[in-house]
Amino acid sequence: MTEDLQLQPITIQNKIYEIRSQKVMLDFDLAELYGVETKRLKEAVRRNIERFEGDDFMFQLSKMEIAEFSRTQFATLNKGRGFNIKHAPFAFTELGIAMLSSVLNSRTAIEVNRGIMRTFVTIRQSLTQSKKRKSDLYTELKELKAYIEDVFADYNDINEDTRMQIELINQSLAELHNEKKQQAKPRNKIGFIT
């Protein structure tokens, strides 16, 4: 039993799906973890259906959702008896799984529920940290963008100043060149021509 529970966090995470924008586990995966038949799990839920009222506890997948789920989770459908989803499964949210512990009273169900609850908490914490990290990265990116804009503005100012200075230098050189031409021009000599 303890070996199984050590493997559960990874096993459980692989069995948590996002359907209708909620993190859920399906009845056949839960039945496997609890060590009971899916049929028996559904019977227990139906006998205590008032505990699971509302989509925030449990909902049944539609035919479209089953088709989509089958397509995304299994690249191709298996052929043969007993491989594909035939009856609409129940999808249990975190609250619904917590409620299952009051319906299923076996020692295994209690241990498995503890592992599932810990896994949901871990996922929620990692999502929260991920959002915080994205927020931090966004802030850093914004600051970097502002810094780069300042640097380019300074560069453009320097560039404009430099361009004006080069124009002044070129103008001065042109004036000096004209002056030199004027000085280098042969002058007429004063006096008598011989």
**What is the full DSSP assignment across 158-183?**
HHHHHHHHHHHHHHHHHHHHHHHHHH
Q: Is residue 186 part of a domain?
A: no
Tokens of 56: 């925030």
Using an 8 Å Cβ cutoff, are 26 and 42 in contact? no
Q: What is the pTM of this model?
A: 0.53
Asked, for residue 176, whether it belongs to a domain, the answer is no
Cα–Cα distance, 100 to 95 (Å, whole number): 9
Asked, for residue 188, whether it belongs to a domain, the answer is no
What whole-number distance in Å separates Cα of residue 36 and Cα of residue 75?
27
* Within-domain flag for 41: yes
Q: Return the DSSP state at 24.
A: E
Domain housing 88: 2-132
Q: How many CA atoms lie within 13 Å of 11's alpha carbon, on the beta-carbon side? A: 14
* Residue 190, pLDDT above cutoff 60: yes
Residue with tokens 């780069």: 148
- Residue 185 within any structural domain of the chain: no
Cβ atoms of 69 and 18 closer than 8 Å: no
The whole-chain average pLDDT of the chain stands at 78
Which of 9-13, 66-70, 93-97, 108-112 is most confident?
Answer: 93-97
pLDDT at residue number 59: 93
Assigned domain for 72 exists: yes
In a domain, 157, yes or no: no
- Looking at residue 4, its pLDDT comes to 45
128-171 confidence digits (pLDDT tens): 777 777 777 788 888 878 888 887 777 776 777 777 888 888 88
> 190 in a domain, yes or no?
no
What's the number of domains the chain is made of? 1
Residue with tokens 């929620």: 124
Q: What percent of the chain is helix, strand and coil (3-state, nearest 5)?
A: 70, 5, 25
Give the model confidence (pLDDT) of 73-107 as tens digits.
654 455 544 446 677 899 999 888 888 877 877 77
Q: How far apart are CA 116 and CA 94, in angstroms?
A: 8
Q: Is pLDDT of 113 > 90?
A: no
